Amino acid sequence: MLFVMVIALFVLSYGLTFLFNLAVITLFAFFIFILLDYLILFFRKQPVSVERISPERFSNGDQNTVSITVRNNYSFAVSAIIIDELPQQFQLRNFFFRVKLKADEQQIINYQLRPTERGEYFFYNINVLIKSPVNLVIRRKIFEANTTVKVLPSYALLRKYELQAHSSNLAEAGSKKMRKIGHSLEFEQIKEYVLGDDIRSINWKATARKAQLMVNNYTDERSQQVYCIIDKSRVMKMPFDDMTLLDYSINASLILSSVALIKQDKAGLITFSDQIGGFLPADRKAKQMTGILEMLYHEQTKFPEADYERLFALLRTRITQRSLIILFTNFESMSALQRQLPYIKAIAKNHLLLVIFFENTGLKQLTSAAAEDIEAIYMKTIAEKFQHEKRLIVKELQKHGISAILTAPQNLTVNVVNKYLEIKARQAI
């Protein structure tokens, strides 16, 4: 703009000759100020100091905080534009910050990123564009800040659900703890025989010492097996809020496994599509959560249809103890359920099965919108038909004694954890 003003003075000097000398003086002053600005910006080798501070891993689907520390090394105030080269997965093309720094001042800039895919994310350089108070020259400084961050299944919410797992107040959910006495692997006490006790529990050694009938008393085993089974077939590729149904299932499985371990249960994991993807036996060892996290980190959607026959064969041969099986899958139609129902029923005969599948939130928006023309009426009617079919799938599973949850993806973790705590309180396993 200053240079345009100089040009304008020269143009006007053709008619007003007294402006010519003023234009020449202004031009020389302009170049002198440019030279001065250049010298004060470039005389220092390290004009500013910049450092990016980021966690070693990100939580998928959650907000993760990244900090940039910038310090002005000049003896005068500067203004700067900071451009951080973010991983290509975020697709942010105009990501920058404007800051004003006093002499020797340091500022910390915090920003948040929400990844929606698991994997490795590469941060690149940090570019800083610096301007002095003269504001005629910009100095660009590139700081090498290449960093690799792993995006893992959502671990940021683990603490929240740990507190919920430690809480024993489930009265609001209508659940009541019941202590059942029966035969299991966990011995409780020896007591005197009373009429009605199972004679198979008589402890003959104790009877001989006491000279009266004594029986072993058992309680339900506190450490039950809980398996999260994740369907990786094409039905789990459906996107919602930039994440797939598979990612929501992975996040819920991680948190549920953590809650199960806190409740003294054994947590295990199975993934499958047309083949069995991974199998982690249920256990309570200290490194179990690490194993679950590593296994979930590498899981990706497979496009063939899920093979429930293989899943049933695996459960029949590898999991012989009655367990809580939480199956994350999706059925869009009754016919899709009917194809797999024989295997689901077979699994439910030997285990307590909980089937989790998802509402189509796009259809929900269609049904709630007002219909203003014939086409909208048809669309709304078809959407309501598909929604009704989802509810019929729940009824069909419940008819065969199989528990089911139909949930929106964003409510998946809350609903699954609450259901597990309810089952645990009822000692239904």
Ordered DSSP codes for 245-267: HHHHHHHHHHHHHHHHHHTT-EE
What contacts 158, CB < 8 A, 6 or more positions away?
254, 255, 258
String of DSSP letters for 41-66: HHSSS--EEEEEE--SEEETTS-EEE
pLDDT of residue 169: 45
Closest CA relative to residue 318, chosen from 265, 354, 270: 270
DSSP state of 93: S
Query: Are 331 and 357 within 8 A, CB to CB?
Result: yes
pLDDT at position 180:
46
| Beta-sheet pairing, 57-59 with 147-152 | parallel
416 touches 405 (CB < 8 A): yes
Q: Which residues of the chain have pLDDT under 50?
A: 168-185
Q: Are 159 and 177 in contact (CB under 8 A)?
A: no
CA distance 169 to 153: 28
Tokens of 304: 């063939």
CA angle 103, 109, 110 (to 5 degrees): 165
Amino acid residing at 188: E
- Residue 429 CA to residue 421 CA, distance in Å, equals 12
Q: What angle do CA 346, 352, 353 make, to 5 degrees?
A: 65
Report the C-alpha gap between 125 and 111 in whole angstroms: 16
Distance, in Å, from the CA atom of 383 to the CA atom of 69, rounded to the nearest integer, reads 51
**Predicted pLDDT at 171:** 39
Report pLDDT for 221: 56
* Amino acid present at 163: L
Task: Please calculate the CA angle 150-90-239 and round it to the nearest 5 degrees.
Answer: 90
* CA atoms of 229 and 322, how far apart (whole Å): 15
Backbone phi, then psi, for 30, in 5-degree steps? -60, -50
Region label for 61, one of left (φ > 0), alpha (ψ between -120 and 50) or beta (otherwise) = left
Distances (CA, A) of 244 to 240, 250, 258, 272: 6, 10, 22, 16
